[in-house]
Structure 1
């Protein structure tokens, strides 16, 4: 299983190839483009776990791509690291104020960037930091395959466990049925998208113990999200 999916937006082909090599070696899945418009399309069609975004790409600038990604509901919570030769403090502040989560000035060490990506992903995907996942009053032990809600053990089937794990790794993110099929059942699955609804119902029944609030939110015409406060 890949450590995470990266969208690399970089128009320096030599640097892009170097980064793809290093991230692939560290077991990341990398999708690459040099074009801002294509980056927007790729990110919204299948949101990555993190975006590495060059400021000075051709066409739509990296800073504008960052701004648009933050405005789009599908990508509003996707971490973004800006890559740029602009090292002035005002530029760094502008990038961060636009919505970037981190800022790496060129030239940089690929190993440093791999470490930065790992640090950001550990903040947003706790599974990368250890064996425990948690959100609101839900707890999951990945190794022992045990789930608790409010301290009470929850019995889940294998599919519901994988489904909940995916939600716990991306709290607040809205996933369509098709994306849940890819993430939980795999790209080669022939299961009908409506089958996801059946497993969502089973998962809800299992974790909504003793009348606890429904922590899985149905987002009309979009899909499902793990969302304790109903803001997804």
Structure 2
């Protein structure tokens, strides 16, 4: 995301176009809020390499323990290389998610404000920071965006995958108030997380034969994750708008 687009969000403005899933335009819908504050997390993004089903290196309990240890080390080293190659300053999945969400919500005349927050040990403390820094907001959103490439085993092709956790609450909440949205969405390679709603219609067909191919085609890999996260943002926007 360019500096100018980030500045627009930080000013509470939204515009432009996003990759949308098929569905009803938000322009005809009435939003349950007019100003949405979105937390800008304090950490630097990382991108994971996941080996979903590594073949056992030996039989029995010892074999399973050894396989797990070797796989975790392999994943860690490959994830470090992938994060460096994709470069968080260029990939910016969280900011792509926020901008795409802002673009979608602007059709319903909702203004989106990106609010920097400091690290905290609970969601409540993060929300309290947002209330203090953006008192004009009437809804608050936390999002955790994870981009990864997944192979069924070490020799399989790597497929892009996204997991996006989203929680939206009214800015002024009382005891027992329900979130406007509290969900985990996945796209691309389908995981087995029982919490997640998998978006089947998000098209993420890119495949990389091995890690060398993945690291050697950085622009294609980055675009796969960015396009996917924008589509997830469009789905989140529709979930937030009453039909």
The structure with higher relative contact order (CA 8 Å, sep 6+) is: 2
Give me the TM-score of the superposition, normalised by structure 1.
0.27
Provide the TM-score with structure 2 as the length reference: 0.26
